[in-house]
Amino acid sequence: MRLGVLDIGSNSANLRIADLCPGEEPALVRSVKSAVRLAEATDRHGVIGRPAVDRLIAAVREAAAASASAGVDELVPLATSALRDAANRDDVAAEVRAATGVALGFLTGEQEARLTFLAVRRWYGWSAGPLLLADIGGGSMELAYGTGQQPEIALSLPLGAGRLTRHHLPGPPPVRRRKRKALRAHVVSVLDEATPEIIERPPPVRSVATSKTFTQLARLCGAPKTKKNPYRDCHLDRRDLLGWIPRLAKLSDEERAELRGVKSSRAHQILAGAIVAESVMDVLGVERLDVCPWALREGIFLHRLDALAAGRPAGPPFEAVEDVAAVPAPVPIRPDRRMPLARVPHPAGTSPAG
């Protein structure tokens, strides 16, 4: 079958289309990326502004058209922290559906962590032993630890690079040392409260990072490009990261965007991302992170592929979390008459955990 996953994040809407065949890895057919910049358009009350809503509608419309032209059998459109946590989330989602016919779904942060862990486990295999996962997004950071296919611990923390930039580093560079220290102290305090259960577990055999933030930090610190060859070794050392943080603090967004691996769209939040990355490595006692090319979207592909291989309908990839409804199975909808799409709906009257 041909599956499309539309992942709407803080900065962009990413569509990945892949062919799924039991016994084989997902085969990428096409990808489409559109800038939505939801995080920067969110005010201090958590309301996403009109221009960003218009960009989101255009991006979803483009993704639906691309899916139709590619002959997609199912489309899973989901929004992560930037829209999930917005004060006007339901109004925005309703407007997107009215304009495009696509009903956006929402995963909790913990569910994101579980799907991403599934992708990482499949990438590295059982020889990786106990795995530690860290993923820094725009609005949240996910952590997971486990010895099996599913993590024993899955956490989502409000430590996204975009969120921390807006709340703690809102002014233009240079960023003074006291502000960097204050942000790091905040990050460490959140981690100290949230991660004792991970710290008490046996040390991971492999510590892994996913996300654009970690990938760009690894490139900044000297790792090779892996887009054309995802099997190349890519890692991030804490020692290298410590050396870059004061340098990034002195540079403007334009100067940061000229650095190795740093995209202009993420230059404004790369300092906060570096501080979070170094802090989580320090708190969890990790000196090196391997950067995995598979993450959330691949986890969704793999979940659907497992259902195909087992001959069962697509369903929620995890057990229901206490007080939070598990994500239902995709339900067919038709943004246009050319293709059947599927959605991951959010149950009416419930609120997902961030």
Domains of the chain: total: 2
Same domain, 140 and 265: yes
Residue range 151-169: mean pLDDT, rounded = 95
Residue range 136-157: mean pLDDT, rounded = 96
Q: What is the pLDDT of residue 311?
A: 83
Poorest-confidence range of 120-134, 152-166, 325-339? 325-339
State phi, psi for 7 to the nearest 5 degrees.
Answer: -105, 110
**pLDDT band at 44; cut points 50, 70, 90:** confident
Q: What is the pLDDT of residue 315?
A: 57
Is the distance from CB of 143 to CB of 211 less than 8 angstroms? no
**pLDDT band at 152; cut points 50, 70, 90:** very high
Could you give the CA distance from residue 93 to residue 262 in angstroms, rounded to a whole number? 31
In a domain, 224, yes or no: yes
In a domain, 81, yes or no: yes
Q: Answer whether residue 326 shows pLDDT above 80.
A: no
Containing domain of residue 18, as a range? 2-107+321-343
Residue range 112-127: mean pLDDT, rounded = 96
74, two tokens: 């199912």
Residue range 310-327: mean pLDDT, rounded = 50
Helices (DSSP H) in the chain: which residue ranges? 50-69, 81-84, 89-100, 109-124, 161-168, 177-194, 196-200, 212-220, 238-250, 253-256, 270-283, 296-310
Q: What is the pLDDT of residue 312?
A: 76
In a domain, 303, yes or no: no
**pLDDT band at 227; cut points 50, 70, 90:** confident
In a domain, 296, yes or no: no
The CATH number of the domain where 184 resides is what? 3.30.420.150
Q: What is the pLDDT of residue 332?
A: 39
Same domain, 196 and 129: yes
Q: Answer whether residue 228 shows pLDDT above 80.
A: no
Same domain, 123 and 139: yes
In a domain, 302, yes or no: no
Q: Answer whether residue 334 shows pLDDT above 50.
A: no
